[in-house]
Amino acid sequence: MNKSALIEAAAAKAQVSKAEAAKVIDAALEAAVEAVKKGENVQLVGYATIAVAKRAARVSKNPRTGEKINVPAKKVVKIKAGAKFAL
């Protein structure tokens, strides 16, 4: 499902226009992105948890040449699915 399909489905379930559903979904996603950029976790109980994790520096290698490469530490976004996504 892409964003357009999500907007259509949300509009149908909430019985609102697609424009209204799009505004709400865009606002919710922007708020989540801003929170994660600040280093905060976003918990949607039962659905998902979005958190910032630190990835340690490591030594890797170029698969073509075999040359060792230092990969610096960085922050990454981790998403853990909640119970409602159990298949």
Residue 71 pLDDT: 95
pLDDT tens per residue across span 4-60:
999 999 999 999 999 999 999 999 999 999 999 999 999 999 999 999 999 999 999
Residue 64 pLDDT: 94
Query: How far is it, in rounded angstroms, from Cα 81 to Cα 58?
Result: 27
Residues 23, 47, single domain; the answer is: no
| Pick from 77, 57, 59, 58: nearest CA to 68 | 59
Decide the pairing of beta strands 68-71 and 74-81.
Answer: unpaired
pTM, entire model: 0.76
Tally of domains in the chain: 2
Residues 6, 33, single domain; the answer is: yes
Residue numbers of the domain that contains 79: 41-87
Residues 23, 35, single domain; the answer is: yes
